[in-house]
Amino acid sequence: MATKSLKKLGNDLAQSNKQLEILSNGIFKNGELPTFKDKISKTSQFPIKAKKLEILQINVGYMCNQVCDHCHVDAGPDRKEIMTRDTMRQCLEVIKNSGAHTLDLTGGAPEMNPDFRWFVEEAAKVGITDFIVRSNLTIIRANKKYYDLPEFFKKHNVHVVSSMPHWTRGKTDKQRGDGVFDKSIKALQELNAVGYGMPGSDLRLDLVYNPSGAFLPGDQAAMEKDFKKALMDDFGIEFHNLFAITNLPIARFLDYLIASENYEDYMYSLVEAYNPTAVENVMCTNTLSISWDGYLFDCDFNQMLELPVNSKSRHISEFNEELLEGRNIVISQHCYGCTAGAGSSCQGVVA
Amino acid sequence: MSKPYYDAADLRKFGKITEWNEELGTKFFDYYGKVFEEGALTAREKSLIALAVAHTEQCPYCIDAYTKDTLQRGVTKEQMMEAIHVGAAIKSGATLVHGVQMMNKVNKLDG
C-alpha cells in the first residue's frame, strides 16, 4: 500500500514527460501496436474535435487524505498544489459567461481545499444548479470539520460521485488503504440518512468502480446489480448508479503496470477492446478540465500529463469559448483507456 | 535455450486459427461467443464455470483468460478458489467412483 506520492518519492514517473516517453516508445514505436492517432485515423475519426462546452471539471487541488494505489493524479497528503480563491473567482467569471451548465469538482479530495464551501456557495449564487463533487467518502469521516458535509451537499443539491472499488473490505482496502472500506460504508450510510441515493430521491449518489489491477472493468450494468445487492444485503445501503471506469495508464497506475510487468499486456487489452463508437462520445468533446493553477486541459488525464489545450486560450484568465470550441483534442496512447469496450468517462460508459 | 511448449503470447493469436480454415474457425468463434452471452445463466456464472473447467482441462491459456475474465466481473479470489475446488472435487470423485469397478472386479476374481 502506497503512503507517499510518486512526486514526494522522487520517482521518475512523477514527471509527465517520462510518462509520455513510455507511452510513445516500445510497442507503439516498433509498430507492434498502432498509435491512438493511427487507430482513430482508420475510422476517419482523427482529429477529435471539441463540441459545445457543457461541463467544467475543476481540479481544486491534489491534496488528499488517501494515497490510492492507482491514482492518476498521484494525489496524497503530501501534495500542496491547491487552487486559490483568486483562481476560483476567475472560474466563477467563466461560469457566468459560458454555456457550461455543470460544475464538476475534483481533486485530490476537493473538500480539503479551504475554500471549497465558499466556491460552491458562490457558484450557486451565479446560477449553477448542476454540481458534481467527486468525493472519496472517507473525507466525511476524516475529521470533525467534515462531519456535516452530507448536510452541506444536500443544501446545494450537489450530485455526489464516490469511488468504491469493491463491495468487499479486502479488495477495497488493498487498493485504497486500510480502514477505507469501513469509513466509506459509514459515509454512505450517513449520505443515505439525509436522503442521498434513495430510490426516487433528487439527491443523486452515484458510485465509481475502477478495477483493482491490470484488467478492464466488466459490464457496467452487471456490476451495478452486484454492487446494489451486496451493499443492500450487507449494510442496507442504497445508491443510484454505478459508473465503471477504466484505469488509464498514467501516473501511479502506469508505475504499477511497469513494476508488475503488466504494461504490455494491459496496452494490448486496451487496443484489442478499441471501440470506434466510444470515440464519438469521449468526455473531452464536451468537458474542459481546469487545473489548480488555472490552466486549461482537454481532460483531467491530459492535465496530469501536462498536455495543454491546443488553443490560444490556455488559461482561465484568457478563457475564450469560441476559440476553444472546435479545437483539436490533444491525444496520446493513454486515450485508448477511454475508448476500450463500452468506453469510459467520468460519467461511466459512453457507448 | 529451452523453448517452452506454451507461450502466453500465443493466446492473442487464437483468432488466427480461422486463417487455415475460415468456415470452421468462424463457426467455432461464433458458437463460443454465443455460449458466453448472458442467458439463463449470467455471464458471471458462466465465467466461473469456465474457470473451473479451465483447471480440470489444465489449459494454461484458459486459466489466464478466465482468471482475468472473472476478475473483470468482480469475482473475488475466495470465489475463484471455491470454483476450482468444485472442479477438483469432480475430478477426484470421478477417479474414486471407479473404485467401485475395482471392488467389483476383485470380488469377482478373488471371491
Q: Is residue B4 part of a domain?
A: no
Q: What are phi and psi of A156, to 5 degrees?
A: -105, 15
Q: Is the ipTM value over 0.85, yes or no?
A: no
Contact A268 B44 (CB under 8 A): no
Q: What are phi and psi of A125, to 5 degrees?
A: -60, -35
For A154-203, what is each residue's pLDDT tens digit?
999 999 999 998 999 988 898 888 999 999 999 999 999 999 999 999 99
Average pLDDT, chain A: 95
CB count within 10 Å of CB B4 equals 7
Residue A221's domain spans which residues? 6-338
| Mutate: best of A27, A164, A207, A215, partner B, most B CBs <10 A | A215
Cβ contacts (< 8 Å) between A216 and chain B: which residues? Answer: 72
Contact B72 A170 (CB under 8 A): no
Q: Is residue A350 part of a domain?
A: no
> Whose CA is closest to A324, among A332, A334, A316?
A316
User: Cα distance from A214 to chain B (closest Cα, Å)?
Assistant: 9
Tally of structural domains, chain A: 1
Q: Does B99 touch chain A (CB under 8 A)?
A: no
Q: Is residue B44 part of a domain?
A: yes
Three-class DSSP category at A102: strand
Predicted TM-score of the model (pTM): 0.91
Q: Is residue A347 part of a domain?
A: no
Q: Is residue B33 part of a domain?
A: yes
Tally of structural domains, chain B: 1
Q: What is the mean pLDDT of residues A79-104?
A: 94
Contact A219 B71 (CB under 8 A): no
What cell does A143 get? Answer: 475529521
Contact B42 A222 (CB under 8 A): yes
Instruction: Answer whether residue A1 shows pLDDT above 70.
Output: no
pLDDT at residue B2, as a whole number: 74
Q: Is A247 left (phi over 0), alpha (psi -120 to 50) or beta?
A: beta
Asked whether the bond before B39 is cis by omega within 30 degrees of 0, the reply is no
Three-class DSSP category at A224: helix
pLDDT tier at A3 (50, 70, 90 boundaries)? confident
Q: Is residue A351 part of a domain?
A: no
Report CA dihedral (A169, A173, A179, A185) to the nearest 10 degrees.
Answer: -50
Spacing of C-alpha A275 from chain mean position:
21
Q: Does B44 touch chain A (CB under 8 A)?
A: yes
Q: What span, in angstroms and rounded, lies between the C-alpha atoms of A258 and A261?
A: 5
DSSP string, A280-337: HT-GGGTEEEE-TTSBEESSHHHHHTT-B-SSS--BGGG--HHHHTTPBPP--GGGGG
